[in-house]
Structure 1
Amino acid sequence: MSQQIDPLVERIGLSMWRVQRKIISEMATNKELGLTFPQFSLLSMIAQADKSRVVQLAEKMEVKSSAVTVMLDRMEILGLISREIDENDRRAVVVTITDKGRSVQAEGKRRSTMLLGQHLSILKPEELKSFAEYFDMLERQER
């Protein structure tokens, strides 16, 4: 017996996917920052923590450590991050963000927020509040 997909749920899912792709694509056009969207996401993860291990970053990004290492190589060349051997485990590498990295991450966040604000400007203030509350509920459900 096949299960019928609610057409409204399918419509919402497709719309969310299209909007997300468009916004991410527009964020990726910020070439002035010198980072791809995945690299910027990685830089933001590093900025949130005092120190991060490569393995932890790979788990958060749901990719292999080798993929993170390639991104970190580029970010290190740009002077955005630094890597050191973990003093507690010489097999592990610890990643920290540099002052330049913090500056680039802050500018990227500012640009992303402005871009998202432009997309959400079609909503009235009360609609925007309801939209935010709805996404808060979805986020709590995922925890």
Structure 2
Amino acid sequence: MTPLRHVRATRYAVPLREGGSMPGLVEADDLGMYVVKMRGAGQGLPVLVAEVLVGEMGRALGVAVPELVEVDLSGEIARFEADEEVQDLLTASVGLNLGMDYLPGAFGYDGSQPADPEVAALVLWLDACTSNVDRTWANPNLLRWGG
């Protein structure tokens, strides 16, 4: 596995209040935007490690996975956040966190268009091997982007 690229967070843009971990959209020093899962979230570091392992396994299998990066978050970013809950999360997440490339215009896969059978088979296989118990037809945790 290739080491993840390292970026520094320069601005916390907005919380994404989906799921229990409350990831956030963060701008980094490479001018990229990343969806960042925070080390200070309730699930802690083991979940971030699992995200990297499963993401890179998926990439090795040929599943389209957004680039994963290490995001260095400084304590200064939390000072400018008005929402107290988000400020607490940012303060607890100072240091390295996990970011994935933000895909503007992406939306959740809803089954309205059939998935490519080979991609669907790879995702099912990956889920079975990594015990992704929360993937259901109602919560596929998949995105459609750029066709």
TM-score (normalizing by structure 1): 0.29
Q: Which has the larger radius of gyration?
A: 1
Q: Which has the higher helix share?
A: 1
Q: Which has the higher strand share?
A: 2
TM-score (normalizing by structure 2): 0.29
| Higher RCO, Cα 8 Å, sep 6+ | 2
